[in-house]
Homo-oligomer: A and B are copies of this chain.
Amino acid sequence: MTYRAPINDILLSLNHGAGLAAAVAAGHYGDFDADITAAVLEEAGKFASDVLAPLNKVGDEHGIKLDNGKVTTAPGWPDAYQRWTAAGWNAVSGPEAFGGQGLPLAINAACTEIWSASNVAFGLCPLLTLSAIEALDAHGSAELKKVYLEKLVTGEWTGTMQLTEPNAGSDVGALRTRAERAGDGTYRIKGTKIFITYGEHDMTDNIVHFVLARLPDAPAGTKGISLFLVPKFMVNADGSLGERNDIHASGVEHKLGMHASPTCTMTMGDKGGAIGFLIGEENAGMRCMFTMMNQARLGVGLEGVGIADRAYQQALAYAQERRQGKAIGHKGDGMDPIIVHPDVKRMLMQMRSMTAAARTICYATAVALDVSVRANDAKVRADAAARGALLTPIAKAFSTDIGNEVAYLGVQVHGGMGFIEETGAAQHYRDARITSIYEGTNGIQSIDLVTRKLGANGGASVWALLDELAATIKQVETSNDPAFGTTGAKLRDAHAALERASKWLLERLASAPNEALAGATPYLRLFGATLGGCMLAGEALAAKANGEAEPQRYVALARFFAENTSVQAPSLEKTVTESAEAVTGADAVLAG
């Protein structure tokens, strides 16, 4: 089973659901030539189908090997990585001054979906490099950029993000890795990091680690964390590689999924301390991390979309081929393909509609992040930044929840074959499982949404978005297209539920924070169900208006989502606003 990038769906989503076309038309993308979008994505789709997709199962089966500090990736992987950088895919959205193509994040978001769909464990490596690029570009000194940035942008070297320690996971502020001033402007780092993705591998000559550590005189908690660049090999003045730095992979994890991606324990300081270079200011490491968190979280959301689409494509192909039972009214011998059965159709529509909704939410986040840095008008930039900040936790958590749910259904469509590893459906299910955990668990995304994004400006970002969604709902209602079924009514109910739940939470954020936090997860789901429904409806309207081929397909898809997912909004609202006592009063139950 191969993968084919759904270019038409992606373009409709990007241009109309996510608003890229309107933002370009409004001049917010400067001189970006939107005509190249389709061509770039077509090429990305080809590379994904030809090079990455065939290695997905190989990577899962072979996994990686750690031997004496060296990690060997699966057969074919180093070669694929060379082809990746040679084709320029690592540099799509990188800064032009350092060898990047400077294309919008929105384009790269679609590419990230495509890489994740074809081979999520492979795509994870450049995703992390991208975060490293962002941190270095925004906060690194000119000298550091000169030595490292172009190599990272082209992908000649990869980057890692090293935050987690055994006692510092979600609570980064608890980390203990030490950094001491060496007196020459550099630092010596000692400590152990865990769960370091691609912390060691054989695909590039060098690896550039970005390590959070604490100076001896640092304040406690997150205010005492600094960010350091720690190369695997030191770089000589002429750019050649020098001595091996004192950072080593001392272990790799045996994981549920993502087998091809090495998850390393990194040890620094066996020989006196790894040489590190400060990024930004001392004790300001968390600010540097936050800079790149939006993009990294969006990237993980796109992994959810990608895995979902791959699982969908595989399940669809199986359902079209596998014959069991007969359709109602079937005459004569033989069996029908299982796609004729309403329950199988329901599963496939659920998969496709949820994937489409998550896709557009992610792309819309990317457009907002683009506009927040590209627009000329400061107000436009500020509004877009607020929109991007609001959407990021939803893009991350809703999309990865959906990635898991869709992969679950993908297994289910396969029946007993889905449980057999050879089939491949189970790999998507296993791989997806980490996406709702890393880059901030989905619970933490929900808390971020409620406390920092909803709460930050008295709800202003939410009200602005709700106004836009209301306009879309009105368009659905006035379209008088019977194919929309009850879409308009479902979205209107969902919109009202989201508005009420938002107000309820805002009222409690200061006065009863535990009650607000108790509702964070169902609130994020409510938000995604409403937002996704409105966006799919907007895409359907655009497809009709723009003379898309078979626009009614998009109407049917939007309808299904509204009647199956958005319809849950009023129930979710009740859970947010009425079950807080049941959560805060849980102690007696959980103790027994």
**Interface, chain A (partner B; CB < 8 A):** 8, 164, 167, 169-171, 174, 195, 220, 253-257, 316, 323-325, 328, 333, 335, 339, 341-349, 352, 404, 408, 411-412, 415-416, 418-422, 426, 429-430, 433-434, 436-438, 441-443, 446-447, 485-486, 490, 513-515, 517-518, 520-522, 550, 552-553, 556-557, 559-560, 563-564, 567-571, 574-575, 578-579, 581-590, 592
**A255 and B421 within 8 A (CB):** yes
For the complex formed by this chain, how many copies does it contain in all?
2
Neighbouring B residues of A345 by C-beta, 8 Å: 518, 583-584, 586-587, 590
**B517 and A589 within 8 A (CB):** no
Neighbouring B residues of A325 by C-beta, 8 Å: 170-171
**A588 and B415 within 8 A (CB):** no
**A418 and B443 within 8 A (CB):** no
Sample of 20 A–B contacts (CB below 8 Å):
A174-B335, A254-B420, A254-B422, A256-B426, A342-B515, A342-B517, A342-B583, A343-B517, A344-B443, A345-B518, A345-B586, A349-B583, A349-B589, A485-B582, A486-B574, A552-B588, A559-B582, A560-B589, A567-B578, A569-B571
Mostly, the A contact residues are helix
Given A171-B335, A485-B581, A575-B564, CB of A254 within 8 Å of CB of B586: no
A430's partner among B256, B515, B587 (CB-CB below 8 A) is B256
CB distance from A255 to the nearest CB of B (A): 5
Given A349-B582, A518-B342, CB of A567 within 8 Å of CB of B574: yes
Closest 10 pairs between A and B when the two form their complex, measured CB to CB: A563-B579, A343-B443, A342-B518, A342-B517, A560-B582, A256-B426, A171-B324, A345-B586, A571-B571, A568-B571
**B438 and A416 within 8 A (CB):** yes
Bound complex: CA A447 to CA B515 (Å): 40
**B550 and A592 within 8 A (CB):** yes
**A589 and B170 within 8 A (CB):** no
Bound complex: CA A429 to CA B432 (Å): 13
**B521 and A590 within 8 A (CB):** no
Neighbouring B residues of A586 by C-beta, 8 Å: 345-346, 348-349, 556, 560
CB distance from A51 to the nearest CB of B (A): 26
Beyond A256-B420, A342-B583, list 7 extra A-B contacts (CB 8 Å). A174-B324, A254-B421, A328-B513, A343-B443, A416-B434, A419-B434, A486-B578
